[in-house]
């Protein structure tokens, strides 16, 4: 196997990640094998982790998922409406 990012050989026992050349958020389904470190470096260089973190935070804010996780909020009755909103529209 060859790493799609560095073109180096992937040896048995190496940590392997699967990389989506076309991001899943853009409809990509095809994956290529990469070294774990190459994959992390690739997305770090492109600042993807920061961008994805912002999107995750935005989704948490929109769905009010934060009301279940934050200390001093998750058990506070004041935030029952936020938890109810999440359960009504996003719970499975």
Helix and strand element counts for the chain (H, E): 3, 2
- 25-73: per-residue pLDDT in tens? 788 999 999 999 999 999 999 998 888 888 888 888 889 988 998 889 9
Separation CA 75–CA 81 (nearest Å): 12
Give pTM, 2 decimals. Answer: 0.62
pLDDT band at 91 (very low <50, low <70, confident <90, very high): confident
Using the 8-state DSSP alphabet, how is residue 13 labeled?
T
């Amino acid at each position: 196997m060859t790493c799609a990012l560095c073109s180096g050989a992937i040896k048995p026992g190496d940590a392997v990640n699967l990389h989506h050349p076309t991001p899943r958020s853009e409809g990509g389904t095809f994956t290529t094998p990469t070294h774990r470190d190459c994959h992390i470096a690739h997305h770090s260089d492109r600042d993807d982790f920061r961008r994805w973190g912002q999107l995750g935070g935005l989704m948490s804010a929109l769905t009010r998922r934060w009301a279940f996780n934050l200390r001093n909020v998750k058990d506070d009755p004041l935030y029952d409406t936020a938890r109810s909103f999440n359960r009504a529209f996003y719970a499975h």
